[in-house]
Chain A
Amino acid sequence: MRIEYNRPILLVEDNPMDVDLTQRAFARRKLLNPLQVARDGEAALEYLKTWGGNQPLPVVVLLDINLPKVSGLEVLRHLKTHPKMRTVPVIMLTSSAEDGDIQEAYQSGANSYIVKPVDFDKFLEVAERIDLYWNVINLPPR
């Protein structure tokens, strides 16, 4: 059962096609939460910096590793050391299947790691599964 519709999903993704696919997948599953998009690492850090304690915490963060300006792993480190944001689940959603990236992501506190399918239909399916698990079944931090 979906709860807390005012809490955003933060998507950190530079590829506009992937942003579009994610939005479409969530729309198909009738996601009501606002989708906040940061299109590079710098924008993500800016979001973090300007996030005030009165604003609702994101339900979940979807984070690509390969980002311009600041890498996804760097963004992850900032997220996981932010006093309030650190409890928000971070799902790495990335094209990288490199062992090194996987290890480092988990070491830095990533909650989950998913490799983006290249195939369009599979990507949609994966985004829908992510929505089902993190926005419906999982209970986010308060």
Chain B
Amino acid sequence: MPDQERPILLIEDNPMDADLTRRAFAKRKVLHPIEVARDGEEALTCLQQWEAGKPLPIVILLDLKLPKLDGLEVLQYLKTHARFRSIPVVILTTSNEDGDIQTAYQVGANSYIVKPVNFDEFMRVVDQIQTYWCTLNIPPQV
């Protein structure tokens, strides 16, 4: 399974941030399809329905502040299910609260990044996330 066919799953309820993220990926002509889930429930439904043979994400970008099912619950689900737990999860969130950071790592987040407020900085950070997880990191074969 070529890694380029594997999608990047973005779990993000803020449409502007989702759009910015898509644009940052587009700038780099990223080959991976970007899938967006707008809340925790949608993300889990999306993953659960992942058909056999359909490639699992190469990386998941996860906001903590989500409606319906919050980010930490989604993370908990991902990291306790054999099928999904190896997929790298990058927390990409506005929160820089010590409590959130600690809990995220304890539950098994691979990485934790605070979303920059500044537009250019945001684009740069998303670009660096993509470069790291999609071209440098070797993902698990799932």
Which A residues have a C-beta under 8 Å from some C-beta of B? 86-87, 89, 97, 99, 102-103, 106-107, 109, 111-115, 126, 129-130, 132-133, 137-142
Nearest CB of B to A136, in Å: 9
Partner of A111 from the list B111, B113, B129 (CB cut-off 8 Å) is B111
Chain B positions within 8 Å of A, measured between CB atoms, are 86, 88, 96, 98, 101-102, 105-106, 108, 110-114, 125, 128-129, 131-132, 136-141
Min CB gap B21→A, angstroms = 15
A109: chain B residues at CB < 8 Å are: 108
Contact B137 A137 (CB under 8 A): no
Contact of A142 among B101, B108, B129, B140 (CB under 8 A): B101
Task: Assess the A89–B137 pair: CB atoms within 8 A.
Answer: no
| Inter-subunit contact A133/B128 (CB<8 Å) | yes
From A87, A111, A114, A138, contact of B138 by CB (8 A): A114
What is the bound-complex CA distance between A62 and B15, given in angstroms? Answer: 36
Point out the residue from B86, B96, B98 that lies within 8 Å of A106, measured CB to CB: B86
Majority-rule SS of B interface residues: mixed
Contacts of A132 in B (CB 8 A): 128
The residue on B at minimum CB distance from A129 is B136
- Across-interface contacts of A139 in B (CB, < 8 A): 96, 101, 112-114
Cβ-Cβ contact count across A and B, 8 Å cutoff: 63
Point out the residue from A86, A97, A129 that lies within 8 Å of B131, measured CB to CB. Answer: A129
* Interface pair A142/B98, CB less than 8 Å apart: yes
- Say how far B8's CB is from chain A's closest CB, in angstroms: 16
Residues of A within 8 A of B88 (CB): 111-112
A82–B101 alpha-carbon span in the complex (Å) = 18
CB distance from A25 to the nearest CB of B (A): 14
Which B residues lie within 8 Å of A138 (CB)? 111-113
A133 touching B138 in the complex, CB below 8 Å, given contacts A111-B88, A111-B110: no
Q: Are B125 and A87 in contact (CB under 8 A)?
A: no
Docked pose: A97 CA to B125 CA in angstroms: 28
- Closest CB-CB distance, A141 to chain B, in whole Å? 4
Specify the chain B residue showing the minimal Cβ separation from A107. B86
Q: Known interface pairs A137-B125, A139-B96. Does A89 touch B131 (Cβ–Cβ under 8 Å)?
A: no
Contact of B113 with A137 in the complex, beta carbons under 8 Å? yes
Could you pull out 18 A-B pairs where Cβ atoms are within 8 angstroms? A86-B106, A87-B106, A89-B111, A97-B138, A103-B141, A106-B86, A111-B111, A114-B138, A126-B136, A129-B136, A132-B128, A133-B128, A133-B136, A137-B125, A137-B129, A139-B113, A142-B98, A142-B102
